[in-house]
Structure 1
């Protein structure tokens, strides 16, 4: 990622997709470090999912959400603590009730400052969006599950346990069959493994596979990934299949006592052959490293 200048991670309030009644997605337009952002309405309240990176992006999201709400009460949640998803929450203070799961709140408190510094080093466009970031504190923190009544519509917030991060959260709208996955799922992209030993090793390929199996079993009709195009349940299966293949191909080579460098080279080539159109090839190496560390002899 550091070999070229990343595009400016700007949220554009354009091409907003209505994926169900009173439920829209501000698409990321396949711009790196821009998430898909959800806005879900009920009779008396509206929930915003993710903020975009930094206060200027979040201001645009809040303006759109407030106009969409039309006087309804606002809530904000974030799928996990990473900067493009959560580092705009400060803008919603006093305008929306901010609620997240406890593991995510701990991630934000313990690792937020480090991630702010790390992401600011990705280039001037990213650093510019992160100027003025203040790490927010949630108004409501839940342990494992939270049902948010928006008025005639209940939205389910569920902590998944450690996977892409320690504090991942999935948001489901049962009456619409819609699931927001955050970075547990990407469309047309290799899974993002934030495997940065010794600084951050909370990602777990094995636990991630187990989470995907549970999400597939829920059988949502519409899946909103963290990044990439909105799709159907096939998105969940694609990620689950990829993670299992990545594990199997990594472990069979680990069993043969290959060097990790050789494992990376061989597995990377195989994964690109299987998914030549997927972006994010740089994350394959991190995935192999994580799964090597989780290898069961």
Structure 2
């Protein structure tokens, strides 16, 4: 029997958690759904990741209001994906920050990504009628930007390509805490459909070089303590490598996309089959790996139609 398309069969509401990962630093997590982060400064609040809709964003805001009444002035979006950015209007932040490259990706493929993810994640897009449109940043940067929330310093950095070409992280040096977006996951499949496999490991190395005490990952539980951080970074590396290396070998001998699919299943199923959104991600991951192994550097744009065709060809 064919599997339900993407996450269309995942309709059960997830239990949320709000975990303090450093002084005034919080991770909002939801059993494998997209995470958000919160940085409380002296006089204001920065939120990392907006959620998919204003309805979901209000769940984050409700948790923030349990710990502070300071205004939310900054919203940082680590990349352009719809499930991360379309709830932005709920926060009322005066500054919405992305990398230059992420903004360019909104312009290039934001509408298609919205339509694609709307079909993939129906539960996350409940209340979508309140989304006012594509989310555009007020501020962008190329490599590094520093924001001060009073005396609290937050460093926003593009450390390299990984989950997308425009990924950024937020580093809070006074507590040694990092918000990584989907560059790092914990017991959740990495979505690699817009990824850069050959670069991802180097970007993980740059994150590890900061020796974070805690990390708020893109999906999965908050990573508290250096041991948990190191384990999640290495698990993410293993997932990316275990997806790409088999495909690279198939492409090198002139094999087909279907052969690449079977090789990835053989390598990844024993280790990752119980991870959140694993079956959802797999066709998109294999398709992108197959393209990259053939020398296609820029990920092809996913549309709702292309999603279905790929799903039917591999998961059907």
Question: TM-score under structure 1 normalisation?
Answer: 0.85
Equivalent residues in 2 for 1:140-179 (5 A)? 140-179=139-178
Q: Is the contact between residue 45 and residue 150 of structure 1 (CA under 8 Å) also seen in structure 2?
A: yes
Deviates further, 78-87 or 1-10? 1-10
CA offsets per residue over residues 123-181 of structure 1, 9 Å max, x none? 65344332231223322222211111112321111123432122211111122121111
Map 1:69-84 onto structure 2 (within 5 A): 69-72=68-71, 74-84=73-83
- Give 1:199's aligned residue: none
Runs of 4+ aligned structure 1 residues displaced above 6 Å come to 9-12
**How far, CA to CA, are the matches of 1:87 and 1:19 in structure 2?**
25
Cα deviation, residue 81, structure 1: 1.5
Residues 42-89 of structure 1: per-residue CA shift (max 9 Å, x gap): 212211111211122223434543564423562111121212211111
8 Å CA contact 2:72, 2:91 repeated in 1: no
Candidates 237, 242, 248, aligned match of 1:240:
237
Pair 35,7 (structure 1): closer, same or farther in 2 beyond 3 Å: same
Distance in 1 of aligned mates of 2:150 and 2:211: 24
1:127-142 aligned within 5 A: 127-133=125-131, 134-142=133-141
Deviation of the 1:38 alpha carbon: 1.0
Does residue 216 of structure 2 align to residue 224 of structure 1? yes
- Contact 1:216–1:233 (Cα < 8 Å) also in 2: yes
Separation in structure 2 between the aligned mates of residue 73 and residue 120 of structure 1, nearest angstrom:
27
Structure 1: gaps spanning 5 or more residues: 195-201
Q: In structure 2, which of residues 20, 25, 29 is the aligned counterpart of residue 23 of structure 1?
A: 25
Alignment correspondent of 1:99:
97
Displacement after TM superposition at 1:17 (Å)? 0.8
* 3-state SS, counterpart of residue 227 of structure 1: coil
Give the aligned partner of residue 197 of structure 1.
Answer: none
CA contact (8 A) 2:161 2:195 kept: yes
**Equivalent residue number for residue 251 of structure 1:** 248
CA distance in 2, matches of 1:111, 1:252: 30
Q: Would the aligned equivalents of 1:223 and 1:233 in 2 still touch at CA under 8 Å? A: no
1:10: how far off? 6.6
TM-score w.r.t. structure 2 length? Answer: 0.80
